[in-house]
Amino acid sequence: MIDTGAQAPDFELDSHLDTTVKLSSFQGSKNVLLVFYPLDFTPT
Protein backbone atom coordinates (compact mmCIF):
# COMPACT_ATOMS: atom_id res chain seq x y z
CA MET A 1 0.00 0.00 0.00
CA ILE A 2 1.18 3.49 -0.81
CA ASP A 3 2.96 5.38 1.97
CA THR A 4 1.70 8.48 3.71
CA GLY A 5 3.57 11.49 2.33
CA ALA A 6 4.08 9.93 -1.11
CA GLN A 7 2.94 11.70 -4.25
CA ALA A 8 -0.43 10.19 -5.21
CA PRO A 9 -0.08 8.57 -8.66
CA ASP A 10 -2.12 10.54 -11.17
CA PHE A 11 -4.84 8.82 -13.17
CA GLU A 12 -7.67 9.54 -15.54
CA LEU A 13 -10.67 7.21 -15.37
CA ASP A 14 -14.27 7.06 -16.61
CA SER A 15 -17.00 7.27 -14.00
CA HIS A 16 -20.55 5.95 -13.84
CA LEU A 17 -21.73 9.57 -14.17
CA ASP A 18 -20.30 9.60 -17.72
CA THR A 19 -17.55 11.97 -16.65
CA THR A 20 -13.82 11.50 -16.92
CA VAL A 21 -12.03 12.13 -13.65
CA LYS A 22 -8.40 13.22 -13.60
CA LEU A 23 -6.87 13.20 -10.14
CA SER A 24 -4.43 16.03 -10.79
CA SER A 25 -7.32 18.33 -11.75
CA PHE A 26 -8.13 18.59 -8.02
CA GLN A 27 -4.62 19.63 -7.04
CA GLY A 28 -4.53 23.01 -5.36
CA SER A 29 -8.29 23.12 -4.90
CA LYS A 30 -9.72 20.01 -3.28
CA ASN A 31 -8.80 17.10 -1.05
CA VAL A 32 -9.71 13.72 -2.55
CA LEU A 33 -10.96 10.59 -0.84
CA LEU A 34 -10.36 7.39 -2.83
CA VAL A 35 -12.46 4.49 -1.59
CA PHE A 36 -11.14 1.27 -3.11
CA TYR A 37 -13.46 -1.72 -2.88
CA PRO A 38 -13.24 -5.25 -4.28
CA LEU A 39 -16.25 -5.39 -6.63
CA ASP A 40 -19.71 -3.95 -7.28
CA PHE A 41 -22.59 -5.97 -5.88
CA THR A 42 -20.50 -7.34 -3.02
CA PRO A 43 -21.09 -6.61 0.68
CA THR A 44 -19.64 -3.37 1.99
Partner 1 sequence: MGISVDSKFCHKAWAKSFDGITYPLLADFHPKGGVASAYGLMLDDKGITDRATVLIGKDGTVKWAESAGVGGERNPGELLGKCKELG
22 in contact with partner 1 (CB under 8 A) = no
Output the smallest distance, CB 23 to partner 1, in A: 7
In eight-state DSSP terms, residue 9 is P
Output the smallest distance, CB 25 to partner 1, in A: 11
For residues 2-37, one letter each, b for 16 or more C-beta atoms within 10 angstroms of the residue's C-beta and e for the rest, the string is eeeeeeeeeeeeeeeeeeeeeeeeeeeeeeeeeeee
8 in contact with partner 1 (CB under 8 A) = yes
Q: Applying CB under 8 A, which residues contact partner 1?
A: 1-9, 11, 13-19, 21, 23-24, 26-41, 44
